[in-house]
Amino acid sequence: MKQLLILIMTAALLAGCASKERNEFEEKLAARLALDPDLKDYNLDPNEVAGCVVSEIAKTLPGFRGTPARKPYWEAYAAFESARNTDEALSTVKKYKDVFGSEQKASAAAMEVTQYIMYCMGQLIETAHPVTKPDN
């Protein structure tokens, strides 16, 4: 019984450690999306879009939610989101190249955020405004 309790507490502690970085990225992304005119046009909640993006990215990361292996990835994504110009973006990609395996892979990861945003916007638009098929 004690071993089970220790295992549960350890898992909860690990989940809390990794989720801080994940939450930081999600908050930064939601703040940027709050200024996006497309989200306003479609009446989409920036927090919902950011949550969807984070969920999609999480599917591509090694390990499972809460594992320390994910921490550097979430840190990298938060840094990508913080870059405000090309020089900062290039510097951030170089800084996190070892996390992703190369500069090219780090750059691809940074650019994939936009693809995830478009995917999630599409999903949320479909949910909010379902297309109805005409009766035959």
At 5 the pLDDT is 40
The total of structural domains in the chain comes to: 1
Q: Examine residue 28 and state whether it is found in any structural domain, yes or no.
A: yes
pTM of the entire predicted model: 0.80
Q: Examine residue 136 and state whether it is found in any structural domain, yes or no.
A: no
How far apart (Å, rounded) are the C-alpha atoms in residues 101 and 103? 7
Per-residue pLDDT of the chain (136 residues; tens, 9 = 90+): 655 444 454 444 444 444 788 999 999 999 999 999 999 999 999 999 999 999 999 999 998 888 889 999 999 999 999 998 999 999 999 999 999 999 999 999 999 999 999 999 999 999 877 767 766 6
Q: Examine residue 56 and state whether it is found in any structural domain, yes or no.
A: yes
Angle (CA) 76-81-86 rounded to 5° is 100
Cα distances from 20 to residues 6, 44, 65, 123, in angstroms, run 22, 25, 12, 26
Q: Examine residue 48 and state whether it is found in any structural domain, yes or no.
A: yes
Give residue 31's domain range. 2-128
